[in-house]
Amino acid sequence: MGTNLNKMNTIGLILLLQVDIEEKMKNAPDSGYEIGVVIGTYLPFVVLVGLAYFFYYKAKKRKDGD
C-alpha cells in the first residue's frame, strides 16, 4: 500500500510541476529563458536519479564483495 501512495504522490508532484512549467513558458520573455526553465526544472531529478544509481551500485558491490 505504501508503494502505491508513493507513486500517487510522485504523479501528483509531476503534474503540479508541469502546470508551473507551462505557466513559466507562457510568460517567458524569450527562448533563452525557456531553455533555462527546462534545464532548471529537470536537472534536480536527473541528479537524484544519478545519486540513487550510485548508491545502488555501491550497495550491490559491497554485497557481492562479502
pTM above 0.85, yes or no: no
12-54 residue pLDDT tens: 766 666 666 777 777 778 878 888 888 887 888 889 999 999 9
* Number of structural domains the chain divides into: 1
What single-letter DSSP state applies at residue 34? H
17 close to 41: Cβ distance less than 8 angstroms: yes
Question: What domain range is 7 assigned to?
Answer: 2-65
Q: In the numeric block, which cell numbers belong to residue 10?
A: 510522485
